[in-house]
Amino acid sequence: MTKEKAELLQGTLDMLILNALVLEPMHGFGLAVRLRQMSREVFQVEMGSLYPALCRIEGRGWIEAKWGTSDNNRKARYYSLTASGREQLGVESARWQVLSSTINAMLRAT
């Protein structure tokens, strides 16, 4: 369990969560696994950040939470993307594109 971990950039977690939920609703644990996989095991999402982040995003109306049953027929709380969440994801990823390409360009410039 010793892996090189990278700190998530402040504010990107929300965007990554939204992104992970684009395809299908997921429960918290699944989301943690998915995020780790998507980052090719680079990012270790702290549960102490994930659940509060889910709560925060829910408060903004970007995702909805519902109790449901998992594939292996177990109870779980599922999070799904709302229409405004989808919109927000577009806005944030576009902003991220601009930001990251700018920062890359600046780094190359030196």
Nearer to other proteins, 73 or 100 (CB): 73
Query: Encoding tokens for residue 20?
Result: 């992970």
Q: CB-wise, 51 or 101, nearer to other proteins? A: 51
Q: Which residues bind other proteins (CB under 8 A)?
A: 1, 27-30, 32-33, 46-49, 51-52, 55-56, 58-61, 67, 74-77
Measured over the CA atoms of residue 75, residue 45, residue 41 and residue 82, the dihedral's sign is: positive
- Helix boundaries (H) for 1-110: 12-20, 28-38, 47-59, 83-109
User: In whole angstroms, how close is the CB of 39 to other proteins at the nearest point?
Assistant: 16
